[in-house]
Amino acid sequence: MTQAYNLSQLANNLNTSGQLDATDGLVNAVPPANGGTGQATYTIGDILYASGATALAKLSDIATGNVLISGGVGAAPSYGKVGLTTHVSGTLAVGNGGTGATSFVSNNVLLGNGSGTFQVVAPGTAGNVLTSNGTTWASAAAPASVGVGQTWQNLTGSRAIGTAYTNSTGKPIMVNVWCSNSGVASSSATLTVGGIGVSFVIGDTTNGGSGATLSAIVPNGDTYSVATVNRIIGFWTELR
C-alpha cells in the first residue's frame, strides 16, 4: 500500500471478517516486493516475466505464427521465428518431412527409401545416365546408339563376299553394301546378320547393269556377311 490510513479509514474498508477489501481503499498497483505484479493494466495476450529480482514486466503479443524464444540465462524472452540454423537440433526424420540425414556428398541423387533415410546414387563415370532396373535407379553407361561417336568408313578393300565378320565395336553399326548385276540374268544378293537374312536384292536382264544397296544395322557381337549370285560388290561402307 502506498497511502497511510488512519484507524477510522481502515475500519471503513474492513469486511465483516475483518479483512481488508482490496477493491476499495488501495491506490496504485501492488509491487512485486509485496506479492503483486506492479502492473495495473494488461492487453490481451500479454505475458509476465521477471525483469529483475523484485520486478515483473509485460511482453506484448505480436503477429500470428511467432513463438516465444529464450534470450538465454539472465536475459528477457522475446517473440520471433524459429531459426532452423540456430534454434533447431537433431535430424528431421523422413516421417516429419526431412531426409533423415545430416549431410550428403556433392552431386549425389537422392532416392526414396520408404520411411527410412534417403538413399543416394553417385554420378559415376562421366557420360553415365540414371537408369532404372524396374526396382531402383543406378548410374550406368548410356545405351549404345548407332551414329553416336561413329563415322562412315569405306571398307571395300577389306571385305569379301561369303566371309563372316563380327561386330566387336561395343556398339551397333550400320552396314551398306552396293552391288551390281552387270547385265547378268537372275542375279541376287543377301545381307545376313546373326544368321538371318535381313536385306535382299534380286535382278534379271530387264534391269541389266543396275545396282542396288543392301543395308542393315548389326548389333554389337553379331556376325554379318554378304552372299551373291551373279553380282559384284561395288562399295562396302560401315558406320562404326
Give the pLDDT score at 117.
92
Q: How many residues are present in the chain?
A: 240
| CA distances from residue 146 to 102, 126, 171, 198, 220 in whole angstroms, order as listed | 44, 20, 7, 17, 10
Same domain (yes/no): 172, 199: yes
List 211's β-bridge partners, or say none.
Answer: 180
Same domain (yes/no): 54, 131: no
Same domain (yes/no): 205, 129: no
Give the pLDDT score at 137.
92
Residue 85 lies in a domain: no
Nearest to 230 by CA among 191, 199, 193, 184: 184
Residue finishing a domain among 31, 51, 80: 80
| CA distances from residue 88 to 81, 83, 237 in whole angstroms, order as listed | 11, 7, 68
Residue 219 lies in a domain: yes
User: How far is Cα 92 from Cα 228, in angstroms, rounded to an integer?
Assistant: 72
Nearest to 207 by CA among 173, 175, 184, 233: 184
Number of structural domains (the chain) is 3
Does residue 97 come out as left (phi exceeding 0), alpha (psi in the -120 to 50 range) or beta?
Answer: left
Give the pLDDT score at 1.
45
Same domain (yes/no): 98, 164: no
Q: Which domain holds residue 184?
A: 152-239
Please give the model's pTM, rounded to 2 decimal places. 0.48
CATH code of residue 229: 2.60.120.40
Same domain (yes/no): 157, 130: no
Same domain (yes/no): 135, 182: no
Same domain (yes/no): 175, 211: yes
Same domain (yes/no): 176, 233: yes
Same domain (yes/no): 204, 159: yes
Same domain (yes/no): 109, 185: no
In the block, residue with C-alpha cell 556377311: 225
Residue 2 lies in a domain: no
Residues 80-116: b if buried by 16+ CB within 10 A, e if exposed: eeeeeeeeeeeeeebeeeebeeeeeeeeeeeeeeeee
Q: Would you say 159 and 235 are in contact if contact means Cβ atoms under 8 Å apart?
A: no
Residue 168 lies in a domain: yes
Same domain (yes/no): 98, 71: no
Q: How confident is the prediction along the chain (240 residues), in pLDDT tens digits per residue?
A: 445 555 555 555 555 565 555 555 566 788 888 788 888 899 999 999 999 999 999 999 999 999 999 999 999 999 999 988 888 888 989 988 899 998 999 999 999 999 999 999 999 998 889 999 899 999 988 877 888 889 999 999 999 999 999 999 989 999 999 988 766 668 889 999 999 999 998 875 555 556 789 999 999 999 999 999 888 899 999 999
Residue 88 lies in a domain: no
